[in-house]
Amino acid sequence: MSVIETRGLTKVYRTYKKEGGLRGALKGLVHRKYDQTRAADDVSFTIEEGELVGFLGPNGAGKTTVLKMLSGLLNPTAGEARVLGFVPWERRNEMKRQFALLMGQKNALWWDLPAQESLELNRAIYGIERARFRQVVGGLGELLEVQDKMNVMVRELSLGERMKMELISALLHEPRVLFLDEPTIGLDVVSQKRVREFLRVYNREHQIVTMLTSHYMQDIEELCHRVIIIDHGKIFFDGPLSQIIDRFSGYKILSLTFEDRVARDFSAFGEVIEQTDASVRLKVPRAKVTETCRQLLENCKVTDINVQELPVEEVIRQLFGERSVLSAAAQQTLVSDAAAPTTHA
């Protein structure tokens, strides 16, 4: 049985559209206009035990809305979902004890208390035996290297230390499902790397289902074999991370090093990304890579050549940009069609 399963999950928000000025305010008392936003639109996927899945999308794509519905914080407008066999928005205690939601922009720990005391409160809430509590906190604290910070006020911890304490709090009751919404946001490079290493080890050892949203593509590349991409509430890709490049990238990167200094224009071979006296990096259409390599080897004294895929981050950024342009064009077409006068025979 799948640990997480959604079918046609949809969430529609209705927002009041107020007209400007006093007249608009008075008009709103009598007749209000509303806009509808489909934050999640017919979302369907399944996740099996032990999977660590990246959940990607631009700002406002619907990622957090889906996670909140799967956590039981929001009721859907339509559709179904099961997490560990439970309907999330029924908020049954049996489910609450088996999942955790960690949001990088929200604190779960008490700001003016030491982290240890907040963890003690969670121990009482979840009814964890004290011996087991000490074992879990000790193990997680050692993995995250924050054992010596347990009795420091949360407000006095660095951002990276606070996030590590938040992770310990989320995993204290040893959940089977973990939802992570931007867990490394704002962290420095060292803290990001430490958190990623911890998540990789913990997922491997405990086979916990993890859904991870992040705008740092390095988080996704290092942790997730599978990604789900959502935009404007709709899922348009669900599969291995490696397939994103194969499916959506039409270019490769050629890096060449020359025997001697070369002062020439390489724009005829492709888009010049970077050029020095002895090297050049080109962005070349995938279909022309072989022919371009042949031409460069014939015309230049090349000592080293390297062919690479475009970085995943760039592919996804381009993909979202293209989809935004297409969406805007489609919306403009609908508006134009609606405004066009109707002719009658």
Separation between Cα atoms, residue 95 and residue 92, nearest integer Å: 6
Residue pair 114/151 in contact (Cβ under 8 Å)? The answer is yes
Confidence bin at 178 (pLDDT 50/70/90): very high
- Give the C-alpha distances (Å, rounded to integers) separating 67 from 17, 91, 288: 27, 14, 42
Of 215 and 175, the one with more pLDDT:
175
Mean pLDDT (the chain) is 85
pLDDT at residue 325, rounded to an integer:
55
pLDDT at 305 exceeding the cut of 50: yes
Q: What DSSP element (H or E) covers 47? A: strand 33-47
pLDDT at residue 336, rounded to an integer:
54
pLDDT at 329 exceeding the cut of 70: no
pLDDT at residue 261, rounded to an integer:
81
For residue 32, give the 3-state DSSP assignment. coil
Among 14-28, 41-55, 193-207, name the one with the lowest average pLDDT: 14-28
Whether pTM > 0.85 for this model: the answer is no
pLDDT at 296 exceeding the cut of 70: yes
The count of other CB atoms within 10 Å of the CB of residue 11 is: 22
pLDDT at residue 299, rounded to an integer:
84
Confidence bin at 334 (pLDDT 50/70/90): very low
Among 104-108, 253-257, 265-269, name the one with the lowest average pLDDT: 104-108
Q: What are 282-294's pLDDT values in tens digits?
A: 989 888 889 999 9
User: For the chain, where do the domains classified as CATH 3.30.70.1150 start and end?
Assistant: 250-309
User: 167, exposed or middle or buried, with CB in 10 Å at 0-12, 13-18, 19+?
Assistant: buried
| Mean pLDDT, rounded, for 290-299 | 88
User: For the chain, where do the domains classified as CATH 3.40.50.300 start and end?
Assistant: 4-245
pLDDT at residue 73, rounded to an integer:
92
pLDDT at 90 exceeding the cut of 50: yes
In CATH, the architecture of 250-309 is 2-Layer Sandwich (3.30)
| Mean pLDDT, rounded, for 230-239 | 88
pLDDT at residue 345, rounded to an integer:
42
Q: Positive or negative CA dihedral for 242, 243, 246, 251?
A: negative
| Mean pLDDT, rounded, for 305-327 | 72
Q: What percentage of residues in the chain have a pLDDT greater than 70?
A: 92
pLDDT at residue 67, rounded to an integer:
93
pLDDT at residue 10, rounded to an integer:
94
Alpha helices (runs of H) in 145-256, residue ranges in sequence order = 159-171, 189-206, 217-223, 242-248
For domain 4-245, the question of CATH label 3.40.50.300 is answered with: yes
pLDDT at 105 exceeding the cut of 90: no
pLDDT at 93 exceeding the cut of 70: yes
pLDDT at residue 327, rounded to an integer:
56
pLDDT at residue 335, rounded to an integer:
46
User: 239, exposed or middle or buried, with CB in 10 Å at 0-12, 13-18, 19+?
Assistant: middle
pLDDT at residue 331, rounded to an integer:
52
Among 64-78, 127-141, 145-159, 184-198, name the one with the lowest average pLDDT: 184-198
